Amino acid sequence: MILNEAEIQAGVARLAGEIRLRYARRPLTVVAVLTGSVVLLADLIRLLEVPLRVGLIQARSYRNTATAPGPLEIHAELLPALSGHDVLLVDDIFDTGRTLESLLPQIRRLNPKSLHSAVLLRKQERQQVSVEPDHVAFMIPDEFVVGYGLDYNDAYRNLPYIAALEPHEMDGDSN
């Protein structure tokens, strides 16, 4: 296990505290990246104590049993109007950074008042881009992780902790 349930909750509370300080009770639009950040989104917005709206965007690069990212697909149909709003982009994990690198310019084209990012996890030594997340709850080792919204082949999202999958656990069906 990499992070237990109590550690995650403490990290999300720290993250919420940083975000509250940044926005100082200003209205905020939180845009969460589907599907991995749904659990984080639910816990985070309950702690923010600022007027907020929620939007969703789907961006995925891992498909089926893949453990290495492929081409990024982005679907933004579930976004509210962002022009003139403070926007916080929330994602589950900053791995290579390509998801954040692709999403930030697309959201900037929608003319938000401000745009910042927050991630639950940041993998050490995996970054392949110059983009940096503004808020990070945890640095983790370079392992394939599941739980707390993160999955492998659509399994493990419901785990209340974050664990690394061993290579033999990724052979065959994980269900």
- How far, in Å, CA of 64 to CA of 81, rounded? 32
Active site residue 95: yes
- How far, in Å, CA of 83 to CA of 86, rounded? 9
Catalytic residue (one of 43, 95, 142, 151): 95
Residue 37 phi, psi (nearest 5):
-95, 5
- How far, in Å, CA of 118 to CA of 90, rounded? 5
DSSP state of 17: H
Residues tagged active-site:
95
